[in-house]
Structure 1
Amino acid sequence: MKRAYYSNSIKNFIKDDNSKILGELSLHHTHALEELQRNAWIAQIEILKDQLKEFPNGQVYFEFAIPRMGKRVDNIVIVNDVIFILEFKVGDNEYGNHAIEQVIDYTLDLKNFHEGSHHSKLIPVLISTNASKFENEQTYIDDLLTAARINKENLGEYLKHVAEQSNGENINWLEWETSIYKPTPTIIEAAQALYKGHNVQEISRSDAGAINLTKTADCLNNVVEFSKTNNKIAICFVTGVPGAGKTLAGLNIANERMKSDEDEHAVFLSGNGPLVEVLREALTRDEVATSKLNGKPLTKKQAAIKANSFIQNIHHFRDDNLISEKAPVEKVVVFDEAQRAWTKEKASSFMKIKKGKADFNMSEPEFLIDVMNRHKDWCVIICLIGGGQEINTGEAGLEEWVLALKEHYSEWDIHYSNLIIEDKNYLRDQSLIKWLNDNGESEKDLHLAVSVRSFRSEQLSNFVHKLLELDTVATKSLFEKIKNEYPIVVTRDLDIAKGWLRNQAKGSERIGLVGSSGARRLRPHSIDVKNEISPSDWFLNDENDIRSSYFLEVVATEFDIQGLEIDWVCLAWGANFHINSYNEWNYQKFSGTKWQSINQEVTKQYLINTYRVLLTRARQGMVLFIPEGSELDHTRLNEFYNGTYEYLKEIGIQELTKENFIEIKKEKYVVKTKTKTSTKQKNINSLDKELHYSIQEPKPNLFSTKVHNTPSSKNLSTEKIGKFVKRKMHELIENDLIDNNELIKLQNLDYCINTFHLRYPLLKKKLSTDPENILRYWKGSLNIRGNRYFICSEWYEQPDNNDRPYFEKWLNKIIIKHVNKKNPLDLTIAENQIEFARNYAMYKDSIDLPKEVNDQIDDFINDYNKGFTTNQETYNSILECIHQFIRSLKA
C-alpha cells in the first residue's frame, strides 16, 4: 500500500502537469473532496514548484500517512540527508501554536516509530503562506522544541540553508519510504483507530518483541469462531505485563466481533470508571470530527450513543442483567481488568445496601458468568487479567473466576494463558491451579510478555518489579539497560520536577502529576490526592485548559490512571509507602491526624500494586518527587522519605537539584503579522490621528483598542514588565484602590485569562499552610483588608507575547474608577485624559515636541499618575497645541 497520495522526484514533480497531480491526489482521497481542500492542494503545488526549482535532486511527497495518528502530513521533502516535514496553512497570516504542535507531532511520530527516520535529521516546517518573515532559531528546531516558521516566499531559501549546513550521508528515498513503520499508540489512539476500522496489525509494532499481540488476536478469534460454529460456551483468560496491550487486544476483538448482520454483538466492559469515561469521550470527539470531514456531520449526542454501546461500565451491565433474566444481546463480552471484579463479600454487601437485594450471594465473576450462561447456543467471555494489579479492597483477583467455574460452570471450555499456572502473581491457591491445569487448555499466545506502553524501553515492567522487590543488584542492572532510552530522575523539589517534565515534552506530548490515593500528607506541597479530577478533561483536554494534566495542578491517583498512560509522568511519592531503617518497605495509612501501620498482607499487597501501577504509567520517562521531611510535623518525618530517596539514588537514578538543573523557557508560539510603525513619519501620522479623534469627540469605550495598536515592549518603558506590575500592584494595595468586587475577580482564573492574558489568577489567597514563597507568585504575601495574598509573577513582554497592554488596560480602568470617586467629573473626561497619556507614552520617544509642550504634558502626566483630572479647558488647550505642532511638521 502506498504511504503517500503522490510522490515523485523534485525534478519530475516540477515537470508534471498540475492538473495531473491534482487528479492523483483526488483519486486517493477517501472523503468528499471539498473546495477548501482542492484549493489548498493547488496552492501547495504552485508554491512547491516555485520554491523547489533550485533543487536538482530530492524527493517530494503529498499526503504522507501517519498511521498511529490516523492522519497525513501535507508534504515531505527529502533533500540530501535532511527530511523536511511540511505543514501548510494556506492563506494564514500567523504562525499558530496548534499548527506548530501538529507538525512537531508528525515529526516525532516518524522519529520514534518509522524505522527509516530513527537516525535521520528531521526538520518540522510550518508554512503560513501570508505571514511575515520570521527569524528562526535553528538549534531549537533541530531539537524539535519548535518548528521552522516560513512563508510562501522564503521556503526554498530556508530548505537550501538547512540542507547546505548538514553533511550526513544522502538518504536513499526508496529505502526510506518502504522502511517498516512500528507504531505504539496510546490506548486512546488505539481505540480511535480500531473504531475507524483499522486492524491491530496496522496500529501495533511489527518487531519480534510485540508480535504476539497479533497472535493473541488470532487465538481469541479462533476460539470465537470455534464456539460459534460448534455451539460452545467458552471463557478465555488473557494475561500480560503492565502496558503489554491487554486492553488493546480486548478492544480489537470487541470491535472485530461487532457483526450485527450475523446477529453477533460484542461489548467491551470495564469496571474502571475513568477508563470508560475517557475512551467514550475520545471516541465521541473523534467521531464528530471524522463525520464533518466525511460531509455527514453528527452531533456529539449522536456520536456518544454509538460509543457508549461499544464501551460500557461493567457495573451498569451487571445492573441491567439483574433486572432481566433474558440472555443479553451480546455474544462476545470482553471484561477489562477482570482481576478487579468484586469478591462475594463486597458484591453481596453492595447489593444489600445499595440495591436492596438481600438474597444476592455471588461474587461478581460468578454472576457475570451466570448472565452469559443464559445463552442457549454459544457465547464467549474474554477476561483480561493484570497480574499484581489489584489495588482496592474487595477486588477478587483471578481466583474468584476460577472458583466460580470449578464450583458452578465446569462444563465451559476454558482457555488460559500459560503464565497463570507458572506465575504466583496470578493464582496462589494450589488446588485451583491443579483444577485449572486438569480442566482447561493452556495457550502461550494468551500471554502478552512485552510492554508496548513504553516504546522506548521493553524492560520497564521488569525494572519496576525488581525495584519493588528491593532487589538492589538486579534493579541497578536493569536501570543501566533502560536509562538511556527511558530517562528516570529523582528530586526533592517539586518545581524542578515540573520543570523537568516541561523540558522533556515536545509537540503535544502529554505530561502529568500522579500520586497514591493514600499519600495524604503531600498536601503541604499543594498536592491533594483527595481532590477528584475529571478523567476525560485530565487526559484529553489541551494545554490551555487548567483541568488538563498539562497544567500540573491536579493529581491523578491510581484509580484515575490505571489502564491509561501519558508520555511523561511526575510521581509524587508519599509517606504511606517508604523504606524504613531496616531497608524494608513500611506500609501506612493515614487516619484522623496520624499514620497507622498496615498489618494485613492483602492490604500490603494492594499498596505495592498501587505503586506498581503508578510507576508504569509513563510511555517515555518519569521524574520521582520525594519530598523533604519535617521534624516539626509528626506526619512528615524525615524517616518517611529519606530511606526511599537514598535507595533510588543507590540504584543509579540521577538526582536533580537547583545546582544541576535549568528549565528551558519555551516560547509561546503565536506570532501575528503587525503593522509596522518604526518610522518617525508613521508615528507622527498615528499620533495626529489619535489626537484629532480625541478633540473631535469623546471615545465611547477606551478599552476596545485593537492589539496591533497596543504599544510594544520597546516603546513603553525601560522598566521591565514584571517590575512594573509588581510596583503598580503594591501602589494600588497601599492606597486601597482595589475594591472587594475586583478583589474577588482577581482570584478567578477565567477573569484573569481574559483580562490579563495570564495562565494563573493574579492574586492567590495565602493559606495557613502556605510558605512565603510559592510557585508562579512573587515571594512575600501582602495584606489586603485583613487577608494576605500573593501576586502572580508570570508576566511576559516579547514581540509575539506582550502582556503589558493587558495590564495597563486594567490599570487604567482602576484609576478611572478612583478618579471618578474623588472628583465626580463626567467619566469621559478621565477616559480621554488617560487615552492621551497612553498615546503620548507610545510615541514620545519618536517625536521631538517643543520643550514647553513637553513640560505641560509632563505636568499633566504627573497629575494623571496621582489620580487627579486636569481642568477640561486646560486639557483641550494642550491637545490643540500638540495638534498644531504636528500639523506644522507635516506641512
Structure 2
Amino acid sequence: MFEYSIPRMGKRIDVVILIKHVIFVLEFKVGEIEFKSKDIDQVYDYALDLKNFHEPSHDQFIVPILIATKAKVSSPCSPIPPAYDKIFSPINSDLKSLEGIMKQILDLSTGKLIDPKVWKEGRYCPTPTIIEAALALYNGHSVEDISRSDANAINLSTTSDKITKIIQISKEKHQKSICFVTGVPGAGKTLVGLNIANKHSDESNDLYSVFLSGNGPLVQVLREAITRDKVRQEKERGLKITKGAVMRTVKVRIQNVHNFRDDCLLRPGPPVEHVAIFDEAQRAWDLDQTQKFMKQKKGHPNFKKSEPEFLISCLDRHSDWAVVICLVGGGQEINTGEAGIGEWVDSLDRSFPDWKIYISSKLTDSEYCTERELSKIKFRDNVQYDDDLHLSVSMRSFRAENVSFLIKKLLDLKPDESREALAKVIKNYPIVITRDLSIAKNWLRTHARGSERYGIVVSSQAERLKPYAIDIKSPMDPVHWFLEGKEDVRSSYYLEDVATEFHVQGLELDWVCVTWDADFRYSKTCWEHRSFIGSRWYHIKMSKRMNYLKNAYRVLLTRARQGMVVVVPKGEIADPTRQPDFYDPTYQYLKDIGFQTI
C-alpha cells in the first residue's frame, strides 16, 4: 500500500508492505545521504500509531525502516529484537540493503499470517492528543475520523451530534438554550467544543460559533500548533504566506474568554456569534473576583455580575436565539476566584428564567458540587437531563481508561478501592514511584519511543524542590514546552523546565513525572494542605484553597497518556523545610496501595 493515510497524525506512510506475519513500514528520504533523528522518529511514530490504534495490527510484528536513497550502509546491523509489543526499533537502510533486511526479519520471527483484505478493512480507533485532534479538525477531518468508536466509550460524535441538534432546535424555535457537557479528565470535552466551532466557522452563517477558553496556555498552544501546521502546508504547496496572517485567522476561531468578555463590555449590542462554547466553564470567576477585576483593571466600580452571569447576558442580547455550551470538568477548579459550575446554574435561576437548560445527567455527581444549585431549578419546566451530554471514558489514555477513577479514589483517601482500581490500570499503564528524581528522568527516557512527549510536572505550591533544580517561579513558556522538539532546551523533553497545573490543564503528554512536594501531605485521617511563605510552611485553613490544592494534584496525576512515574523526595534532616517526615507518609501511602517502586 502506497501513501497509506493515518488520520490521527494527518500524514501518510510512504509504503506499508504485508509479508506473511510481518508489517513493514517504509519511509523514503529521497536524495538524503544520512539518517536524521527526526526522520527516525517519524517512521517510529508511524509504527507506533498502527500498533496502538489499528486493530488488525495490535498483535503483529511491525518493522519501521528508514531508507535514505543516497546513503551507503557498509554492513547492515542485525536488527535488535523487538520490544514487548512486537515493534522493532527503527532500522536504517540504503537501497541495496533493503531486501536483505526484510528477509532477515522474516527469518527471525514467526507468527500468525496476515490476511491483507482483513487488514486493509480493519477498524482504526485513534486516541489523539488535543493538539493532534485540533490539527486534524482544522485540516478537514471529522470528529469520527479521529475518535474511538468502540463499545466501551460514548463516541464523541454522539455528544457532538446531540449539541448540533440542540443548536438547530434553538434556531428553529427561536429559543435561548444553555447546555452543560460533563466528562472525566481526558474524555474529550475540549475536542467536542473544537468540533462544533470548526463545523460552524463561517461568519456569514448565523450558526457561526466561537470556541472560548479562560485557559491561557491551552489557547496559546493550540493557536501556535495550528498556525505552524498551516504555514508548513502552504510552503509545501509553494505558496507564500506569513505566520502573522495565519495567526490572525486562527485567533478568531479560538479565543480567550477574557477577550470575548472585554469586547462585550465595549459593545452594547449582541456579539456576532449566536453560539458560544465555553471550555472549562467551571473555572469562570465568581462575583467577588469579577467585581475586583472590573474595578481595578477595567474602571467599572459598580459591576454587579459574576463572570458566568455576564457571559450569558452577552448572548442574551440576541433578539431571536442563542446557545451557550459549557464544557465542564469535575474537580478542576485550581485557582482563586474560580466559581465552579454552581454559579452558572445560580445565574440562570437568578436572571434567565426563559432559557432552556440541557444538563448532563452526571452533573449531579458530588465532584461537580452542584446539588444545592440544581435543587433550585428542579421544578422549572424548561430543564432537560441527557445521558449523551456526559463523556464517561477517558480518551487521553488509550492504554488505561480507569486512571482518572484511580486518582479520584487515591485523593479521596480510599486505599482499598484504590488498590482495586490500580490492579485494573497497571495491566496496560505503568505507574511507578521513586525517591530519586534522576531515576525518574531515566525511566521517562527509556519508556518513550519515537516522538512520544515526556516532561516533569509539579504543583504551583511546590516551593521546596529547589534543591532538585526545580524552581516553579522560573519563567516557562508553555508553547515551547509543548511544541518544540528534543533538540530545544525549552521543550519538555529536556527535563529542565517544569510545568504546573496551570500550564498543563486541558493538555497532556505521553509520559509524565509528577514530583510531589510537602505542600500536600498524607496523614491517616486527611490530607494536610500547606503553603510555603518566607522561610516556613503554613497550614492552609480555607476550605476553598484546600480544594484548589487537591484539584491541582488531580490535574497533575491525570496528564499522562501512557504511563507515569511519581517522585516523592526523601527530604533532608538538616533542612527544617524539607524534613523526611514531611514526605515519608505520602510515599508509604502510595507504596501500600501497591505502586511499584524503582
Question: SS where residue 425 of structure 1 aligns?
Answer: helix
Aligned to 2:557: 615
Q: Quote how far apart the aligned CAs of 1:80 are.
A: 1.1
- 1:648 counterpart residue number: 590
- Identify if the C-alpha distance between structure 1 residues 523 and 137 changes in structure 2 by more than 3 Å, giving closer, same or farther: farther
**Which AA in structure 1 matches 2:552?**
T
Deviation at 1:135, TM superposition (A): 3.3
Matches within 5 A, 1:34-49: none
Give the corresponding residue for 1:224.
167
Name the residue aligned to 1:115.
55
| Counterpart position of 1:136 | 77
Which of residues 452, 462, 466 is equivalent to 1:519? 462
Report the CA distance between 1:210 and its aligned residue.
Answer: 2.3
CA displacement 1:606-632 (0-9 Å, x = unmatched)? 111000000000000000011011121
Is the aligned partner of 1:450 residue 2:393?
yes
2:28 to 88, 102, 105: 88
SS, match of residue 309 in structure 1: helix
Question: Residue 633 of structure 1: which of 553, 575, 587 is its match?
Answer: 575
1:223 Cα offset (Å): 0.5
What amino acid sits opposite 1:229 in the alignment? E
Sequence identity of aligned pairs in percent?
Answer: 50
- Secondary structure of 1:127's aligned partner: strand
Q: Is the 8 A contact 2:294 2:301 kept in 1?
A: yes
Cα distance change of structure 1 residues 67 and 329 upon mapping to structure 2, 3 Å threshold = same
Contact 2:14 2:28 in 1 (8 A): yes
Q: Specify the SS of the correspondent of 2:475.
A: coil
Q: 1:128 to 1:643 in 2, by over 3 A?
A: same
Equivalent in the alignment of 1:65: 5
The count of residues paired between Structure 1 and Structure 2 equals 594
CA offset at residue 146 of structure 1? 3.6
Distance in 2 (CA, whole Å) between partners of 1:206 and 1:137 is: 39
Q: TM-score, normalised by structure 1?
A: 0.66
The whole-number CA distance in structure 2 between the counterparts of 1:412 and 1:206 is 33
> What's the CA shift string for 1:418-472, capped at 9, x where partnerless?
1112x02213442533414634110110011010000100111111111111111
Greater Cα offset, 126-135 or 644-653: 126-135
**1:49 aligned partner:** none
Query: Structure 1: which amino acid aligns with 2:397?
Result: S
Q: Is the 8 A contact 2:62 2:88 kept in 1?
A: no
Q: Which has the higher contact order (CA 8 A, sep 6+)?
A: 2
Counterpart position of 1:105: 45
User: Using the alignment, how far apart are the partners of 1:436 and 1:277 within structure 2?
Assistant: 39
1:430 aligned residue (365, 372, 377): 372
* Secondary structure of 1:390's aligned partner: coil
**Aligned partners of 2:220, 2:388: CA distance in 1, in Å?**
30
Tell me how large the CA RMSD over aligned residues is: 1.3
Q: Letter of the 1:403 partner, please give it.
A: D
**1:74 maps onto 2:17 in alignment:** no
Q: CA deviation at 1:297?
A: 3.6
Map of 2:254 onto structure 1: 311
SS of 2:417's equivalent in the other structure is helix
The correspondence for 1:390, drawn from 312, 333, 336, is 333
Task: In structure 2, give the amino acid aligned to 1:105.
Answer: D
Question: Take 2:358 and 2:204, find their aligned partners in 1: how far apart are those partners?
Answer: 27
| CA shift digits 1:365-401 (9 cap, x unpaired) | 0010111111111111100010111011100101110
Conservation of the 8 A alpha-carbon contact between 2:399 and 2:562: yes
Q: What secondary structure does 2:553 align onto?
A: helix
How much has 1:508 moved relative to structure 2?
0.2
Does the 8 A contact of 1:427 with 1:433 survive in 2? no
Taking the aligned partners of 2:366 and 2:335, their CA distance within structure 1 comes to: 19
1:563 has 2:506 as partner: yes
Letter in 2 for 1:313: N
- From 475, 482, 494, the equivalent of 1:551 is 494
Number of the residue aligned with 1:258: 201
Structure 1 pair 406/180, CA: closer, same or farther in 2 (3 Å)?
Answer: same
Q: CA deviation at 1:212?
A: 3.5
Residue 591 in structure 1 maps to residue 533 in structure 2: yes
Work out which of the residue numbers 576, 582, 605 in structure 1 matches 2:519.
Answer: 576
Residue 79 of structure 1: how far off its partner (Å): 1.1
Deviation of 1:484 after TM superposition, in Å, equals: 2.2
Asked whether the 8 Å contact 2:148–2:155 carries over to 1, the reply is no
Q: Which residue of 2 aligns with 1:834?
A: none
Per-residue deviation, 1:329: 0.6
Counterpart-to-counterpart distance in 2, 1:425 and 1:162: 52
- Superposed, 1:386-535 pairs within 5 Å as 386-421=329-364, 423-430=365-372, 432-436=374-378, 438=380, 439-535=382-478
Question: 1:552-604 CA deviation, whole Å, 9 max, x = no partner?
Answer: 00110000000000100000001000113x35311111111111111122211
1:291-325 C-alpha deviation (Å, 9 max, x unpaired): 22344342111110111111010011111111111
2-structure distance, mates of 1:366, 1:167: 64
1:328–1:354 distance in 2 versus 1, CA, 3 Å? same
CA deviation map 1:211-243 (0-9, x unaligned): 332111011000011111222111100001111
* Whole-angstrom distance in 1 between the partners of 2:227 and 2:97: 40
SS at match of 2:131: helix
After the TM superposition, which of the residue ranges 103-112 and 593-602 deviates more from structure 2? 593-602
**Cα 1:373–1:342 shift into 2, 3 Å:** same
Amino acid at match of 2:76: E
Conserved 8 A contact 1:571-1:625: yes
| Secondary structure of the corresponding residue to residue 139 of structure 1 | coil
SS at match of 2:40: helix
Whole-angstrom CA distance in 2 between matches of 1:191 and 1:431: 34
Which AA in structure 2 matches 1:444? D
- Unpaired runs of 5+ in structure 1? 1-60, 657-891
SS in 2 for 1:78: strand
- Cα distance in 1 for partners of 2:25, 2:378 equals 54
Q: Which runs of 4+ in 1 moved over 6 A?
A: none
Q: Distance in 2 between matches of 1:289 and 1:391?
A: 36
Cα distance in structure 2, aligned partners of 1:437 and 1:131: 74
1:282 Cα deviation after fit: 0.4
Q: Secondary structure at the match of 1:380?
A: strand
* Displacement of 1:145: 7.2
- Partner Cα distance (2:369, 2:511) in 1: 33
The whole-number CA distance in structure 1 between the counterparts of 2:370 and 2:319 is: 34
Deviates more, 1:207-216 or 1:518-527: 207-216
C-alpha offsets along residues 777-835 of structure 1, whole Å, 9 cap, x if unaligned?
Answer: xxxxxxxxxxxxxxxxxxxxxxxxxxxxxxxxxxxxxxxxxxxxxxxxxxxxxxxxxxx
CA distance in 1 between counterparts of 2:379 and 2:63 reads 55
Please report the TM-score for the alignment, with normalisation by the length of structure 2: 0.97
The answer as to whether partners of 2:573 and 2:579 remain within 8 angstroms in 1 is: yes
Higher-Rg structure is: 1
Q: Is the aligned partner of 1:320 residue 2:263?
A: yes
- State the alpha-carbon separation in 2 of the partners of residues 257 and 554 from structure 1: 38
Cα gap change, 1:538 to 1:316, in 2 (>3 Å): same
C-alpha distance 478-455 of structure 1, shift in aligned 2 (>3 A): same
Show structure 2 runs of 5+ residues with no match: none
Q: Structure 1 residues 83-92 or 596-605, which shifts more?
A: 596-605
**Equivalent residue letter for 1:104:** Y
Structure 2: which amino acid aligns with 1:94? E
Residue 82 of structure 1 aligns with an amino acid whose one-letter code is V
CA displacement 1:327-377 (0-9 Å, x = unmatched): 111111100000000000000001101111111121000010111111111
SS at match of 1:200: coil
Structure 2 SS opposite 1:99: helix
Write the letter of the residue equivalent to 1:182. Answer: C
2:185 match: 242
Summarize deviations over 1:825-849 as a string: whole Å, max 9, x none. Answer: xxxxxxxxxxxxxxxxxxxxxxxxx
